[in-house]
A and B are shown apart, each in its own frame.
Chain A
Amino acid sequence: MIKQQKIILPILIALFALPPVLLWAAATPLNVRFSGFSASMRSIGQILGLMGMSLFSLNFLLTARLKIFDQIFNGLNRVYINHHFIGGLAFSLLLMHPLMLGLRFLPVSVRAVALFFMPSFDKINVMFGSAALFLMMIILVLTFYISLLYHIWKFSHKFMAVAFFFAFLHIITIESDISASLPLRYYMIGLASLSFLAIGYRTLFSNFAVGHYRYLVASVRNLAPEITEISLQSAKSAMSYRAGQFAYFRFKNDANVTAEEHPFSLASKPDEPTLKVVVKNLGDYSNTLPSLSVGTIAEIEGPFGVFLKDHALKQIWIAGGIGVTPFLSRAHCLTPKENVIMFYSVRDEKEAICRKELEDISHSHPNFKFILWVSESAGRLTAFKIKETVGELEGLKTSICGPLPMMQSLKTQFKAMGVSAHQINTEEFNLL
């Protein structure tokens, strides 16, 4: 699994960014393209622009949130990890694009370079590019360097589509290889068109293009301080899902909860008519969920995710805090052949919301062992302590879901103990 994750990113980048460079190289002999300092700088600038724009386009395709991405990326949440990387890479390439193009005038004079960088409304085709770049810069500074409230950040990020539109105007009006080489033109415009389609799919046409399930809120229960359980009944057709998956929820027309879309793990048993999610009040949005009204309509998109998909014979489950939710669902679906030892790590006993449910399952299932780990008294749960309890880690599949630092540190500890990376599965919620 890890191999697939590691190579998918370079493959994706090569698949989209290399073709335009090859088409560009085929249009004019390379010895002319790199015939001197100025010519070479211009060529490098052009290559950077083509690669940057292709990756920029690719990033919009990734936001289409298609079900097939689950298989390609081994979990939809990983799409966003890749989106983040590709976005940063595209931006870096696009920053260097005008720089290289301007530096080609250096042999003439520094002033000549300066004049190239000066904005001029005569060169509207260049101005489109500058507008795109500056808008990207503002949006990405907000993404990389400034901590915004999630819904504010998300709103700001949507303007990337505007930046992309300006970039598109730039590539169709600039007199360069894209205007001169027909194959290159087809590629860049074709790719950009797919991106516009993806943008439209997710924004303007989302109401009728994207499939949603309609559910109604049946009950809202407070399981513990700051932990809310929401149960829903389907209004039309029920969503079928696998244990361990998640879905996007949007509660509409509720007096207390905004109609923002948020992903939650599905905590209920897949065959049951009632859908259940358990949410921790971590931020502005989740803090309003305890006041959700019964009867509110929920639009659900999903299911997504590949966590806990396989049925390995020997498994260790490690749940941290609210990360217990996918395991809860999965525990109901254990086959008799599966041997599972589950560690549920909480700070204090009050936090252990589904303890009873899990203990009941451990009594009825012969090979499911449940261990509640209260870090307040037992100390932090470490890989070493897990090994002490479990014994041999060889041949065991480990699944971890919890706070990001906990997942990362446990993964490191296991790897240090010789557990191979592809035996460890984690479910990261953070970049959804």
Chain B
Amino acid sequence: MKIKYLVTISLFVFWAATTAVLLAGLVFYQKNQITNFAPIASEKTNEATLNKGNTSGAVSGENPGVSTLTSAEVAKHNSRQSCWFIISGKVYDVTNFFGHHPGGDNNLLMNCGADATIAFQTQGGRGAHSENAVNMLSQYYIGDVGGGITDNQPSDTINVSVSPLPSIKNDDDEYDDKNDD
């Protein structure tokens, strides 16, 4: 009889947790209010046509007047205050992702302003990022290298917009970083 209690409790916990998570994560999910910049559309010009009236946005700390997303431009955003990097020719502004990265903030910081393609694909040699991670990454996309800043989703990544909800535990001690600042 005792084992029946364990089975019952396990079943209950399983269904309660998955139902709660699925409801909270999918059904009650609020669309991201933050908008990206207005698209430059198919233009590949050097003209800056940025809409400065954006709300907080996934793009923060951007340089008004920047035209093309070159490596040099990306390299300027190499700090905690404004962190951009390149993965497979696409530029991502992950400034708002600090505090949320399961691998810790240091691993993000190390790649700010640089090409993070290999680091992302191999997780620093410990395996690749999961499909979940790839989905999450797409919300931080701001444009292609050599193109302008756009609010279009990258065409070849899975189009799932995920809102960066506040983390449950804002403890940097949770991650394996030695120094967090």
Q: Which residues of A contact B (CB under 8 A)?
A: 32, 35-39, 84-85, 88-89, 91-92, 95-96, 99, 102-118, 120, 122-123, 137, 140, 144, 175
Contacts and interface: CB of A to CB of B under 8 A. Distances in A.
Contact of A114 (B21, B169, B175, B176): B21
A112 B25 contact: yes
B11 to A, nearest CB: 7
Given A37-B174, A85-B3, A104 B26 contact: no
B25 A95 contact: no
A82 to B, nearest CB: 10
15 contacts: A36-B175, A38-B174, A39-B102, A88-B7, A103-B17, A105-B132, A108-B167, A111-B162, A112-B25, A114-B22, A114-B25, A115-B25, A115-B160, A117-B21, A137-B11
A117 B18 contact: yes
Q: Which of B4, B6, B132 has the most CB of A within 10 A?
A: B132
A38 B177 CA distance: 13
Nearest to A28: B126
B164 A102 contact: no
Contact of A39 (B9, B100, B176): B176
Contacts of A116: 132
Contact of A91 (B10, B164, B175): B10
A376 B111 CA distance: 87
B6 A88 contact: yes
B54 to A, nearest CB: 23
A232 to B, nearest CB: 37
B131 A108 contact: no
Nearest to B26: A114
Nearest to A104: B102
Q: Is the interface of A mostly helix, strand, loop or mixed?
A: helix
Contact of A108 (B3, B29, B102, B104): B102
B167 A115 contact: no
Given A36-B102, A120-B131, 4 more contacts: A39-B102, A103-B17, A111-B25, A117-B22
6 A-B pairs closest in CB distance: A114-B25, A35-B176, A88-B3, A92-B10, A111-B25, A38-B102
Contacts of B169: 37, 107
B102 A105 contact: yes
A88 B4 contact: yes
B140 to A, nearest CB: 13
Given A36-B176, A84-B3, A105-B102, A112 B14 contact: no
Nearest to A96: B10
A144 B7 contact: yes
Nearest to B173: A36
A92 B7 contact: yes
Contact of A111 (B17, B101, B131, B163): B163
Given A95-B10, A116-B132, A36 B21 contact: no
Contacts of B14: 95-96, 99
B132 A115 contact: yes
B72 to A, nearest CB: 31
A102 B168 CA distance: 15
Contacts of B162: 109, 111-112, 115
